[in-house]
């Protein structure tokens, strides 16, 4: 009982050093969800300011960022306009009674905080595991800063070291077979049409498109060239490669600390 209370305290306490818990013989290893939370909280506390236009990313880690943002808005009386990257992000904004904006009226975003499926040593991201890559990239491109929050399992040296589901590619439905064959002929590997979980057939994005997951086998490709080449194929809408877009990443660690990486 005492150990469980102490671990909860560790999760929320910034001033009591983790070594003090270890001296008490308490297991301080965090779950993945706790690691996501500490990364999200730290990023929001560092980058969100009053009168900020804030891009709200998508995915499980962003849930904690919005939770922390709502706390800051309440306690610090911040005025924040939130621009969603997906239907999920929009629902999070509404749920927490935050101010919902849109790109048409707020085309310049101060900071976007988003998750990632993998981040390599050059700060190249794979995104799109949740199917929102197109809108995420649009919002990121309109942002002065893109900040990534993630747990330690997303931190890699090379793309593909940890994330084994491939690079998502959003495509026009009628062209998916032709695109699949073209990418394999250019770069090898295998490509799968992403299947839906609770319905028969493929995943359909918020934009009415399909998603191909490219399971690449060569980790030493020039990702800038790969991204440009794939995007030039007719019918490709966007790729899940985010290159030269992220300024800083926060990775929550099992020990409770956060590792930061900047460009």
For domain 167-240, the CATH architecture is 2-Layer Sandwich (3.30)
Alpha-helical runs (H) found in 77-153:
87-95, 133-141
In sequence order, the 6+-apart residues with CB closer than 8 A to the CB of 191 are 166, 169, 180, 183, 184, 212, 213, 214, 215
pLDDT at 2 over 70: no
pLDDT at 62 over 70: yes
Which among 48, 50, 62, 240 has a CA at the least distance from the CA of 151? 62
Say what the pTM is: 0.88
Q: Where in the chain is the domain with CATH 3.30.70.260?
A: 167-240
Which among 110, 152, 128 has a CA at the least distance from the CA of 58? 128
pLDDT at 198: 81
pLDDT at 28: 55
The whole-number average pLDDT for the span 91-95 is 97
pLDDT at 4 over 90: no
Do residues 230 and 129 lie in contact, with contact meaning Cβ atoms separated by under 8 Å?
Answer: no
Q: Give SS3 for 8.
A: helix
pLDDT at 6 over 80: no
Catalytic amino acids? Answer: 136
**Which of the residue ranges 10-19, 208-217, 239-248 would you say has the lowest mean pLDDT?**
10-19
Give Cα separations from 56 to 41, 137, 183, 231, 234 (angstroms): 14, 12, 31, 25, 30
Residue % of the chain over a pLDDT of 70: 89
Which among 180, 252, 254, 187 has a CA at the least distance from the CA of 216? 187
**Which of the residue ranges 7-16, 88-97, 112-121, 247-256 would you say has the lowest mean pLDDT?**
7-16
CA separation for the pair 181, 185 (Å, rounded): 6
Q: Where in the chain is the domain with CATH 3.40.50.1360?
A: 32-154+244-252
Band (pLDDT 50/70/90 cuts) for residue 197 is: confident
CA separation for the pair 145, 123 (Å, rounded): 13
Does domain 32-154+244-252 fall into CATH 3.40.50.1360?
A: yes
């Amino acid at each position: 009982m005492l150990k469980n209370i102490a671990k909860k305290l560790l999760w929320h306490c910034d001033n009591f050093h983790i070594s003090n818990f270890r001296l008490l013989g308490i297991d301080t290893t965090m779950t993945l969800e706790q690691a996501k939370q500490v990364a999200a909280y730290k990023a929001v506390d560092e980058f969100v300011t009053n009168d900020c236009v804030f891009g709200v990313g998508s995915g499980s880690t962003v849930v904690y960022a919005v939770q922390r943002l709502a706390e800051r808005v309440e306690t610090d009386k911040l005025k924040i306009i939130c621009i969603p990257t997906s239907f999920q992000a929009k629902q999070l904004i509404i749920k927490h009674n935050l101010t919902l904006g849109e790109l048409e009226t707020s085309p310049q975003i101060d900071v976007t905080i988003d998750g990632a499926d993998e981040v390599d040593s050059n700060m190249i991201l794979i995104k799109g595991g949740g199917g929102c890559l197109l809108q995420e990239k649009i919002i990121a491109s309109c942002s002065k800063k893109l900040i990534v929050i993630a747990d330690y399992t997303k931190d890699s040296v090379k793309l593909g070291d940890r994330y084994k589901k491939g690079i998502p590619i959003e495509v026009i439905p009628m062209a998916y077979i032709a695109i699949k064959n073209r990418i394999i002929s250019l770069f090898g590997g295998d490509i799968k049409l992403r299947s839906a979980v609770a319905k028969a057939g493929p995943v359909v994005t918020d934009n009415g498109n399909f998603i191909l997951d490219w399971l690449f086998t060569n980790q030493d490709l020039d990702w800038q060239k790969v991204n440009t080449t794939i995007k030039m194929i007719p019918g490709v809408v966007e790729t899940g490669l985010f290159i030269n877009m992220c300024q800083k990443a926060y990775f929550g660690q099992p020990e409770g600390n956060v590792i930061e990486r900047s460009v």
